[in-house]
Amino acid sequence: EEDSIWQVIIGQRAEVNDRQDECKRFESTWVSAVKMCEMAAEAAYTSGADHASITMNSNLEVALSQVEKAQKLSADADKKLAETKVMEIQRMAQQPASVQNNDEEEMPEAYLRED
């Protein structure tokens, strides 16, 4: 049963890695969009559309704060993922030792004696 739980964890970890890759692509696109918005706000300001420029900057600040919160959540998830990797490594390191001990314990005493 423990092995099946660990298999689920391993599967979820693979899914998390895939999603992290997607997030990196999204973040790259996001940076480009932010730069374009900043340039649009600057162009609006220089053309005399002060209200459009102010609105664009306000919306951009809200979006940036939301991205910052998402990045913090992602960092927390990365930390938890690293912790589960450590737990798995520890479990794998203990497993061969426990299997070996179980093999020795299950051996009847009669087989261990030299007669």
Taking only the tens place, the pLDDT of each residue in 34-43 is 888 888 888 8
What are 43-67's pLDDT values in tens digits? 888 888 888 888 888 888 888 888 8
Give the type of residue at 83: E
pLDDT confidence tier of residue 99, bands split at 50, 70 and 90:
low
The CA distance from 34 to 66, in Å, is: 13
In this predicted structure, the answer to whether residue 79 has a pLDDT above a threshold of 70 is yes
The CA distance from 84 to 47, in Å, is: 54
Average pLDDT over residues 86-105: 68
The CA distance from 78 to 71, in Å, is: 10
C-alpha dist (Å) from residue 7 to 13, 14, 82: 10, 11, 16
Judge if pTM exceeds 0.95.
Answer: no
